[in-house]
Amino acid sequence: MSDIRYQAAATGGTMSAALPAREFHLAHEPHPENGTALGFWLYLMSDCLIFAALFATYGVLGRSYAAGPTGAQLFDLTLVALNTAFLLMSSITFGFAMLSKQRMKVRATLGWLLVTGLFGLCFLALELYEFAHLIHQGAGPQRSAFLSAFFTLVGTHGLHVTFGLIWLVVLMLQISKHGLIRENKRRLMCLSMFWHFLDVVWIGVFTFVYLMGVLQ
């Protein structure tokens, strides 16, 4: 309903919403037809600014070791490579879920979403293992400014993945209950943008934190 009224306003304003909807479809007005995608994209861009602030903080404090352990001593690149692989795999499987959605195949969509969720879970488990290992070594967030910045940046990304996983599970329930209705397709599109965005942020994390941290 609100869609129709919006189109009426865009066509010239003088027409009233009481006119039949068909009239408005004949006139192809050059207004954005998909407000949700743009709105969600703007949210992602604002999220990008949070990460920019955290990356900048890490850039300033990343070498303030307080005579404690350095990145080169702490980071296990094999673990990071595995984590990167998990996230990349989850990106492509989410892509397959989107393709199944386009063909309106509910079971295939749910299956690919499940695979995506499992990869996401593996990523989180490995990250939590890494964090626990660091804290056990005495390299917790309170050890040095470098480690505070590290835990904040990587932890914020991990928190995003956690909420993405919760969203994924809820959406899987929605799809299995209501099928691929218009609302669920829209939600799926938003989650796919969110998920791919997290992968983009991870590129920054593994490059600037892990790989450059090991370089010395």
Partner 1 sequence: MSAQDVHGGAAHGHDDHHHDDGPHSTVSAYIIGFFLSVVLTAIPFWLVMAKVIDDRGTAVLALGSFAVVQILVHMVCFLHMNGKAEGGWTLLSTIFSIVFVAVTIAGTLWVMLHMNTLMMPGHGEHAAAAAERTPAAAETPAARQGYGGAATN
Site for partner 1 in 161-200 (CB under 8 A): 178, 181-183, 185-186, 188-189, 192-193, 196-197, 199-200
Query: Does 120 contact partner 1 by CB under 8 A?
Result: no
Given 4, 108, 115, 122, the residue binding partner 1 (CB under 8 A): 4
DSSP symbols for the chain:
-HHHHHHHHHHTSSS-TTS-HHHHHHS---S-S-HHHHHHHHHHHHHHHHHHHHHHHHHHHTT--TTS--HHHH--HHHHHHHHHHHHHHHHHHHHHHHHHHTT-HHHHHHHHHHHHHHHHHHHHHHHHHHHHHHHTT--TTS-HHHHHHHHHHHHHHHHHHHHHHHHHHHHHHHHHH-S-HHHHHHHHHHHHHHHHHHHHHHHIIIIIIIHHHH-
> What's the closest the beta carbon of residue 200 comes to partner 1, in angstroms?
5
> What's the closest the beta carbon of residue 130 comes to partner 1, in angstroms?
14
Query: Does 21 contact partner 1 by CB under 8 A?
Result: yes
Given 9, 27, 77, 170, the residue binding partner 1 (CB under 8 A): 77
> What's the closest the beta carbon of residue 208 comes to partner 1, in angstroms?
7
For partner 1, which stretch binds (CB under 8 A), given 77-85, 111-119, 155-163, 167-175? 77-85
> What's the closest the beta carbon of residue 60 comes to partner 1, in angstroms?
4
Given 9, 19, 27, 48, the residue binding partner 1 (CB under 8 A): 48
Query: Does 159 contact partner 1 by CB under 8 A?
Result: no
Query: Does 79 contact partner 1 by CB under 8 A?
Result: no
Query: Does 18 contact partner 1 by CB under 8 A?
Result: no
Query: Does 16 contact partner 1 by CB under 8 A?
Result: no
Query: Does 95 contact partner 1 by CB under 8 A?
Result: yes
| Burial class of 195 by CB neighbour count within 10 A (0 to 12, 13 to 18, 19+) | buried
d(CA 139, CA 142): 8
